[in-house]
Structure 1
Amino acid sequence: MPIGIIGAGAIGQALALRLLAAGRQVLISNSRGPDTLHELAHALGAGLKPASVPESAAEDIVILAVPWRRLPAAVAATGVADWGGRIVIDTTNPLGPPDFKVADLGGRTSSEVVADLVPGARLVKAFNTLTPAVLGADPRTPAGRRVIFLSGDDAGANTRITRLIQHLGWAAIDLGPLAAGGRLQQFPGGPLPTLNLILQT
């Protein structure tokens, strides 16, 4: 079953590349429409299909890979009022261009805020602690596998995304619920972002 990606910037492209390398099908979308993504699909190869935002959002696993300030508009563009238990992977961090000012989260984690935007979804925070260049690189190194952290409030969703991360070649570390794990992952503020850790095998 394809995985939907909303956002075709550096993070979206890096994750699409890893998914395709593992033989997964990907629907990728952006705010400008699928006609603007044919060159990207040609560059990344078979298995990547340009799609509309609603088409990407219809998949069982959906990755949100858009800048923080564009997140409400991107979610609104899906047209989804109830996500019906589908898994949404939040890759975002609560800052971005043009001024990179950190958003006021009212003491919550950014993923708790994102969860409110996708009612009915099983939200998992992942892929937000590494740069796009590192995410797009082969996670298997001579020393071992690169580590990806994840957190979420639904144990079943966490397990499923853990298996996906492992299938793509990374080592997955489940940090537990969003209120605790999401805070460890959050950039800025958490201790885990930018750590390029290797699990020896």
Structure 2
Amino acid sequence: MRVGIIGTGALGQALAVRFVAAGETVLLSDSRNPRSPRDLADTIGPGLVPATVAEAAGEEIVVLAVPWRQLSEAVAAAGTCDWQERIVIDTTNPLGPLDLHVADLHVTESQDHQSSEVVAGLVPGARLVKAFNTLAPAILAAEPRTPAGRRVIFLSGNHPGANDRVARLVEHVGWAAVDLGRLAAGGRLQQFPGGQLATLSLLLQP
């Protein structure tokens, strides 16, 4: 299958490496540096296809792998106002620039916004799944199968079919998928900082 990735930073590269190693075709794009995917193609392998953001965003599964401060710009570069039920994997964490302060999610006494709710508002019509945000890129880039077990990837989303599709991709690559259910509960557990599962690196034993 083909997976679109928007973002060529450490996280985007880590996922591209693992997806390509598993035999997937990855359309890699960068809204700020269009040349970057071409520079990475020789390193990652023939399964990586340099693409525009619009091309990457046209795939069945699209990964948003950009810093929080660049999120709106990257989504705007996709040039679509209706994501037509494509699966968008949200890997972002709500951290601001430079000092890594927590971004303002407009939390009030009566309303507690999660970062994925903000992302969902930027991709109307998409089926959003939160995944790949709790581990460092270096861990994600490593071989997912170890002698002690498979690396666990947490995911959550409000569309069971989308959760299942992402879980199957995760398992195909070699990780162990743990579906936390809907974003109201699972997204809160995953959110960094503050979530109980953030930075938790687990192995599922055979």
Whole-angstrom distance in 1 between the partners of 2:65 and 2:37: 15
| TM-score normalised by L of structure 2 | 0.95
Contact 1:126-1:151 at 8 Å conserved across structures: yes
Give the stretch that moved more between structures: 102-111 or 185-194. Answer: 102-111
SS at match of 1:98: coil
Whole-angstrom distance in 2 between the partners of 1:172 and 1:129: 13
* Partner of residue 157 from structure 2, selected from 152, 160, 165: 152
Q: Could you say which residue in structure 1 is the equivalent of 2:76?
A: 76
Deviations 1:101-154 (A, max 9, x none): 101212211111100110000000000000000000001000110100000000
Deviations 1:16-53 (A, max 9, x none): 00000100000000023543322211111111011111
| Percent identical residues | 68
Whole-angstrom distance in 1 between the partners of 2:87 and 2:47: 21
Whole-angstrom distance in 2 between the partners of 1:35 and 1:195: 34
Offset at 1:2? 1.2
Q: Could you say which residue in structure 1 is the equivalent of 2:172?
A: 167
Whole-angstrom distance in 1 between the partners of 2:32 and 2:123: 21
**What are the within-5 Å matches in structure 2 for residues 1-201 of structure 1?**
1-105=1-105, 106=107, 107-201=112-206
SS at match of 1:23: coil
Contact 1:112-1:179 at 8 Å conserved across structures: no
Whole-angstrom distance in 1 between the partners of 2:37 and 2:158: 33
Whole-angstrom distance in 1 between the partners of 2:177 and 2:61: 17
SS at match of 2:181: coil
Whole-angstrom distance in 2 between the partners of 1:88 and 1:38: 23
| TM-score normalised by L of structure 1 | 0.97
Gaps of 5+ in 2: none
Q: What is the CA RMSD across the aligned residues, in angstroms?
A: 0.9
- Stretches of 4+ moved more than 6 A in 1? none
Whole-angstrom distance in 2 between the partners of 1:166 and 1:175: 15
